[in-house]
Structure 1
Amino acid sequence: MTARDWHADRDAVFERDAYTCRHCDAVGGDDEPTTLRSVPVGDVPLEGEIHESALVTVCDDCFGTLESDPSTDAVESDELFELVRETTGLQGATISDVAAFASLATSLPATLES
């Protein structure tokens, strides 16, 4: 993959994510002070093309957090509960969005034919 291919994927990822860090919601871009990066989600091949769905937008601060060693600090049970609750809510919203998209995609051919 050439640097240009990667740059094109990066731009598509930034546009998809609205130039916003997917972890902390910091907004970046040409007119913003926050520096953004596109980072892989999971393992990506070292060679070949990387699809934009394998990348996510994060700010420099969150990138540093992702790259650092895991914290050994204890997490209070209330804090852990809130984190799990928030994550579960986000997962539920994502599943609902996927189901709504699937429903639209399934009904589209019939709508176009009529």
Structure 2
Amino acid sequence: MNHIEIIRKYFFAVTARTPQNIIPLFDEDCEVFFAHAGILKGKQEFDKFNLSLIESIVELTFDMDNFNYTANGNTVIIEGQESGKLSNGFSFKDNRFCSVFEFAPETNLVKRMFAYTDPNFGEK
């Protein structure tokens, strides 16, 4: 599987709310960054964070057909838009984000993912 296919698999799993399909895409010692969580280290921390996201975000979709990919070696940057609904009932649409994925060459798994988005999804 190439890097773009792995990234698309990640976003499909996020949309489907299936963290069990997200974790196998990541290296054991991965680093993951989200603005409202800081840097998460390792699969275990990331998995715990994913489970908390499922509780706070009840629906999340991505406009994957219009993702803008920039690749250089083992690094892929994605610009895109996401829409969804939070557990408090707040809905958001076309929230822009940028995610940086870095792959471990020896495993072809994600070793670093930094996600840059509005942590409040436009909610005031």
TM-score by length of 2: 0.25
Structure richer in strand, relative to its length: 2
Highest Rg: 1 or 2?
1
Structure richer in helix, relative to its length: 1
TM-score by length of 1: 0.26
- RCO greater where, 1 or 2, for CA within 8 Å and sep 6 or more? 2
